[in-house]
Structure 1
Amino acid sequence: MFHNVLRYRNQILITICGYVGHLLCGYGISWTAPIIPKLENPDESPLSRPLSDIEMSLLASVLYIAGLPAVLSMSWFSNFKGRKASYVLSAIFYIIGFAMLGSATNFTMMFIARIINTFGFSIANMINTIYIGEIASSNIRGIFLTGLGVIQTLGSLILFSVGPFVSYSMVSYIGVAISIVYFLAVLCIPESPVYLALKDINNCSMCLVRNERISVLNYLSGMLVVVFFSTSIFKMADSSVPPSLATIIIGCTQLVGSIIAPFCVEISGRRILLLVSTGVCCVSMIVFGCHFFLIHINSPLVEHIKWLPLASLVVFFMSNNMGFGVIPSTLTGELFNSNVRSKGTASVFVVSWISGFIITTIFNTLISSIGAYAVFWFFSFTCGLAFLFTLFFIPETKGKSLIEIQEMLSK
C-alpha cells in the first residue's frame, strides 16, 4: 500500500489541491441550511427585514441558474486557457463571493454574492471532473473521481457542525479563509497532459444522453433539496431529534457514505454500486413520504415513530453518497473523449442544474399545494427511474482506460 502511495504521489498531491475546491463546493452549497434560521432570527440576521419564502428559496436555487453561464463559458475557457487557469478563476470567485456574503446587509447584495459564489462552485465542480479524469491512472481514476463526493460532503459537514454555533458573518469568513488556501494550492498544480484539441467526436451524442439522464435523475431525487432545507424539513416532520442536531447527523452520514464509496467503486464496479444505491434511495424516500402522509391524516401512530424521519434520511444519504450522488460525476469524467470532455461535461451540468433550479425553486410551493408526502414520493419515483436507467443503459467502466472505454462505446 505504501509503495502505491509513493508510486502515485504526484497524482495524489495534485488531486488534493483540486479537492479543496470541492470542499468549498459542499460548504457553499449547504450554506442555506444554518443561515436560513439565522435570517429568520432578528437578533442574528444582518438584514433590516425578514425575507419572504420566495427570497429564501432563491438564495438556495440561484446556484442552479447562475451556474449555467459559468459552465457554458468553461467548456470554451478550459480548452482555450487551460484547466489550471480555470482552477484559479474558480478560487477568485470563491474569495469574492464569500467575502461579499460575510459583509452583506441586504437581500440584493446577498443574492449577488450567491451568484458570484456559484460561479466558483460551478467551475470547480466541472473542472475537477475533467482534470482528475485526465491526470489519474486508470486503476485509481475511479477512486479519485468518487472521492470528490467525500470531500464535498466533508465541506457540508464542516458547515453543519460550525454554522449553527457562530455568527452569520463568521460562516462566510471561514469560507474566505479556505478559499485563499485553495487559491494558493491550485497555483502549484501542472497543466493537464491531455489539454489539446483532438478531432475524433465519435460516440459524443450517446455519452451525452447517458450522462444527462442519470445526472438529471440524481438532481430530481431530492438529495440537494433536502440539504438546502434540512432544518425546515425536520421541523415539519416533528422529529424527536432537534433539527440542528439532526442536520449534523445527516452530514456525518453523508461523509461516511462518501468515504465508503471510493473503496466500493473499484471492488464492485460503478454499475452495481449505482443499482444498489438507487434502489435503497427509492425505498427510503417512500418511507420518508409515508411519515408525512401519517401526519397529513393525523394518525396517532406519528407519536410513536418520531425517530422515523431521521432514520429514513440517514439510510437515504448513506446510500446516495455511496453511489447515486457520486457515480454520475465519475461517469462524466470517464465516458467523454478528450476533445469533447469540456463541452460534454458542460452540457451535463447545464441540463442537471436547470432541473435542480426548477425543483428547488418550486419545492416550498409543492409542499403547500400537494403535500410533503407527495413531494417525497415523487423523489422516490425518480430514484426508481434511475435504477431502471442504470440497469439498461449504464455501461461498466471499472478498470478500463479512457481509450478502452471509447472502444467499448463504439461497438
Structure 2
Amino acid sequence: MTAKIRNMRPYTGKLNYAYVVAFAGNLLALTGDTTLTWSSPVLPKLYSNDTDINPLGTPITKDEESWIGSLQYIGAMVGILPFTFLADRIGRKPVLLMLALPHVAAYLMFAFANNIYWYYLGRFLGGVSLSSVYIILPMYVAEISEDSYRGMLLVSYSTFASFGDLFPYILGPYLSIRWFNLITGIFPILFLLSFASLAPESPYYYVGRDDHRAEVTLNKLRRGRLNYDAKNEIDEIKNEKMKNKTGDVWSTLKKKYVVKGFIVAFGLSCFQQLSGLGAILAYTETIFRAAGTNVPSEVSSIIVGVVLFLASFGGPFLVDRKGRRFLLIVSATGLIISESILGLYFYLQTETDVSVDSFSWLPIVCLVVFTITFNIGFGPLPFTITSEVLPSNVKFLLATVTGFSGWLVSFVVTKFFNDLNDYLGNGGTFWLFAGFCGIALVFIIFVVPETKGKSFQEIQIILNR
C-alpha cells in the first residue's frame, strides 16, 4: 500500500531527473548493440580482393566469417561473471563506466587492424562489455525508478539499443572500415562523459552501507516530487532487502518465489536468443543476398534497421498500459508467423521449381514484421522482467546465470547458422527458429507472471503463490 500511495504523489513541472540519468545510461545500450550488427556491413568488405576495401589484403574464409560473426558471444560469457560480481561490490556506476572501455578499444582495433586476429580480439572485447551491460544497466535503471514509470524507463533501453542496431546498417556500407569504426567509437566516449557527470550511484547500493548518501541520491532523483520524504523510500528498500536476507544465499535460493522467478528469467533469456535474433542481425546482408531480392542487400538491411528503430518507440508507451505478458504474447505470435513464411519462401526457392521472382519482396516484409514484433516484446522485456522478478540479494547471481545461458545459446545459433543452412536448408533453419518461438509462446502463457505497475514486494508475493 505504501508503494502505491508513494507513486500517486504528483510531480512539479520540473523534469524528472531519473529520466535524464536513464538517457545518459542508455548511450551505453546504443554502443553495445552496434556490436550485434557491426558484422553485417563489414563482412562483405572482408570478402573483397580490393585492398582499398579489405584492409586484411586477402578475402576471409567461411570459417573466419563465422568466428567474426560469433566471437562477441564468447566474450559475453566471459565478461558477465566478473563485472556483475563487481557491481554488487563496488557499485553500479563505476562498473558501467568501466564497461565502455572495451568498446573504445575494440573500435580502435577495427579501425587500424590489418590482421584477422585483431578482429577476433576486438569482437571478443565488445562481447565482454555487451553481456554485462544487458544485466547491470536495466537493474540500475530499475533501482533508480519508481513503480509507476519503471517499465517505461526500462523499455526505453530498447529504443537506444535499436538505434545502435541501425547505425551500422546506415553507415557501414558507404564508409571505409577505418572511418566507420572511428565514428562508431564516438558513442562510448559520449557515454563516459555524460554518465560520469550526471548519474548518481544506485540508492539500493547505498542503503545499508551509507543511508545518508542514499537519502541524498533519492532526493536528487525525486527532486520534482511534491511532499517527498526519502526516508520512507529508504525504509521500503530496507524492508525488501531484509526480507531477502533471512538466512544465507543458499536458503534464499530454495524459496518458492526465487525458484519461480529464476525459471521465468532463464526461460525468457534462452527463448529470446532461440528466436534466431543473433544470426539475423549478424548476417542481415547475407540473408538478403541469399534470398535474391530485387532490392540491393545493403538497402534491405537499412529498411529492416529503420523499422527496428521506429518500432522501439512503441514499447515504452505500451509496456505500462498493456502489460508485459500481452506484449510478449503478441511478439511471439509475430515471430512465429514471420519466420514460418520466410522459411516457406526459402523452401520454394531452393527445393522446388516454383519461381519466387514475383514475390521477391517477401523476405523484406518478413524481416520487417520480425523486427517490429521482436522489438515490442522479445527484445526488451526479458531484461525488464529479469530485473523485476529476482530478489535483490541474489539478483546479480541469478541474472549472471541466466545471462550466461542466453549468450551461450546466441553463440551457438550465430556460429553454426551457416552449418544449419547447409544441413536443414535456409527454409528449415527459419522453421526451426519459428518452432522455438512456438514453445516460447506456451511458456509465456503458462509460466510468466504480469509485473506491470507492481512493486518488487508485490511481485514476490505473486511468485510465492
Indicate the TM-score class for this superposition, using the shorter chain for normalisation. over 0.9
Paired residue for 1:9? 16
Q: CA deviation at 1:7?
A: 5.4
2:46 is the counterpart of 1:39: yes
Q: Deviations over 1:140-188 (max 9, x none)?
A: 1111111111111111112211111111011211122111111112212
Query: Does residue 74 of structure 2 align to residue 69 of structure 1?
Result: no
Native 8 Å contact 1:257 1:320 kept in 2: no
Whether 1:96 aligns to 2:105 is: yes
| 122-131 or 16-25, larger mean C-alpha shift | 122-131
**Separation of aligned partners in 2, 1:13 and 1:404:** 27
- CA-based RMSD of the aligned residues comes to 1.5
Partner of 1:297: 351
| Aligned equivalent of 2:221 | none
How many angstroms apart in 1 are the aligned matches of 2:456 and 2:341?
Answer: 40
What is the 5 A alignment of 1:216-231? 216-231=270-285
**One-letter identity of the residue aligned with 2:83:** M
Q: Offset of 1:28 from its aligned partner?
A: 1.7
Choose the corresponding residue for 2:332, options 267, 272, 278.
Answer: 278
Deviation larger for 391-400 or 21-30: 21-30
With the length of structure 1 as denominator, give the TM-score of the two structures. Answer: 0.96
Which residue does the alignment assign to 2:196?
187
CA drift of 1:6 comes to 4.6
Whether the 8 Å contact between 1:129 and 1:145 is mirrored in structure 2 is yes
Match of 1:208 in 2: 262
Q: Distance in 2 between matches of 1:281 and 1:321?
A: 10
C-alpha spacing 1:5/1:171, structure 2 compared with 1 (3 Å): farther
Which of structures 1 and 2 has the bigger CA Rg?
2
2:301 matched to 1:247?
yes
1:272-312 deviations in Å (ceiling 9; x for gaps): 11001101110111000000010123433312111111111
Deviates more, 1:259-268 or 1:202-211: 202-211
| Aligned with 1:390 (options 402, 421, 444) | 444
Match of 2:374 among 313, 320, 324: 320
Taking the aligned partners of 2:294 and 2:437, their CA distance within structure 1 comes to 27
Structure 1 residue 130 displacement after superposition: 1.2
Unaligned runs of 5+ in 2: 1-9, 209-240, 247-251
Q: Does the 8 Å CA contact 1:62/1:115 hold for their aligned counterparts? A: yes
1:140 is aligned to 149
What residue number does 2:407 align with? Answer: 353
Is the 1:30–1:156 contact (alpha carbons within 8 Å) kept by the matching residues of 2? yes
| 1:55 and 2:64 correspond | yes
2:119 pairs with 90, 103, 110, which one?
A: 110
1:157 to 166, 174, 190: 166
* Whole-angstrom CA distance in 2 between matches of 1:116 and 1:64: 10
CA distance in 2, matches of 1:7, 1:266: 22
Give 3-state SS (helix, strand or coil) of 2:162's partner. Answer: helix
Pair 1:167–1:4, CA change in 2 (3 A) = farther
Aligned with residue 377 of structure 1, among 431, 437, 443: 431
Are the counterparts in 1 of residues 18 and 145 from structure 2 also a CA contact under 8 Å? yes
Distance change >3 Å, CA 4–CA 290, structure 1 → 2: farther
